[in-house]
Amino acid sequence: MATEAPTFTKPNRPLVWLITGCSSGLGLALARAAQSNGHKVLATSRQPSRTPEIVSEITQNGGEWHTLDVDSPTAASELVSKLESTHKIDVLVNNAGYAILGAVEQFSDKELRAQMETVYFGPNRLIRAIVPGMRERRFGVVVNVSSGAGVEGRESMGAYASAKAAMDGLCKALAKEVAPFNVRVLTVWLGAFNTQFGAGCRSPAEPLPVDYVGSVVAQTLDVLQTGNFVPDGDTDKAVKAMYEVIVGEGVGAGRESEWFLPLGRDMIPRLELARDRLVHTLDVFGDIARNVYVEKE
């Protein structure tokens, strides 16, 4: 029997945010948005010494900056244990990441595992460290910054898309499990934004086979790697929407029970494609799916 979704409530006080990957792009913009709205920000990056001016900005505005390598098997639990001795984390934003781009057949096991380590295992370790406290306190928000690549399966993004899709699947289950404890899980599906995504992409060691010359894979790689890609999305607008949906204000008011937040005009056709694929599959194979049951005697 269907039951109503639990009503999500949040305390009337500033929240404590732990945001990964704050040295640039969306993570930095979200840290600034949270601070400007009076919240406490615990920012992290792999090498804070590379961005001293940004670290100084966040700390001078009342935040903290901590070193965190999300690939480390122990760093997440150690940092969370340290932080929660003085702070109770209300909002976790898994934002840190990178993409390795190429045709699926190019990727080595080592490259695929490295991608999964950063995009899937690292965020999961933070979830395991932080969610128990949220559950016990009966409040928390887990935000996973994901990608339209994982929804659609974009050519050249097989490694990245699979890691994002894996995290999306984990968060779907997590959302159901922790909702009774007033803990919310939000997956943000990003389209293309002006965050220097292309500049930070990596390439597999194996060269692209010549058969792919002129293909969508080759064209995508060329556009991203040459710096000719001009994204349509405005990061500041996206972060404003993200912030409001996370805290349930502005465009997020009354939408606290939603699991997914798509951002970017280019996300619309990608979601429509995913929807239409499922509808098509049901149309083609629905009758077959319904008729493979055990016959009752």
Q: pLDDT per residue over 225-244, tens digit each? A: 877 778 889 999 999 999 99
DSSP result, 147-182? EHHHHH--TTBHHHHHHHHHHHHHHHHHHHHHGGGT
In a domain, 10, yes or no: no
How would you classify residue 276: left for phi > 0, otherwise alpha for psi between -120 and 50, otherwise beta? Answer: alpha
Residue 243, both tokens: 């912030």
Q: What is the pLDDT of residue 142?
A: 98
In a domain, 183, yes or no: yes
In a domain, 276, yes or no: no
Q: H or E stretch including 54?
A: helix 52-60
Residue 42, both tokens: 């615990």
Q: What is the pLDDT of residue 200?
A: 73
Domain count, the chain: 1
What is the spatial distance between Cα 28 and Cα 36, in angstroms, rounded to a whole number? 12
Closest CA to 127 of 174, 169, 85, 173: 174
Q: What is the DSSP letter of 8?
A: P
In a domain, 273, yes or no: no
Residue in the block written with tokens 């057949």: 105
187: CATH:
3.40.50.720
Q: Are 259 and 177 in contact (CB under 8 A)?
A: no
Active site amino acids: 146, 160, 164
In a domain, 201, yes or no: yes
Full domain range(s) for residue 244: 16-267
pTM of the entire structure?
0.94
Ranges of residues in the chain whose predicted pLDDT is under 50? 1-2
Closest CA to 132 of 73, 66, 178: 178
Q: What is the pLDDT of residue 4?
A: 59
Q: What is the pLDDT of residue 1?
A: 47
Spatial neighbors of 136 by CB under 8 A, at least 6 apart, are none
Residue 39, both tokens: 């919240």
What is the spatial distance between Cα 251 and Cα 121, in angstroms, rounded to a whole number? 31
Adjacent-strand bridge partners of 184: 141
| Structural Rg of the chain based on CA atoms | 20
In a domain, 154, yes or no: yes
- At 41, which amino acid appears? V
In a domain, 233, yes or no: yes
What is the spatial distance between Cα 260 and Cα 271, in angstroms, rounded to a whole number? 11
In a domain, 189, yes or no: yes
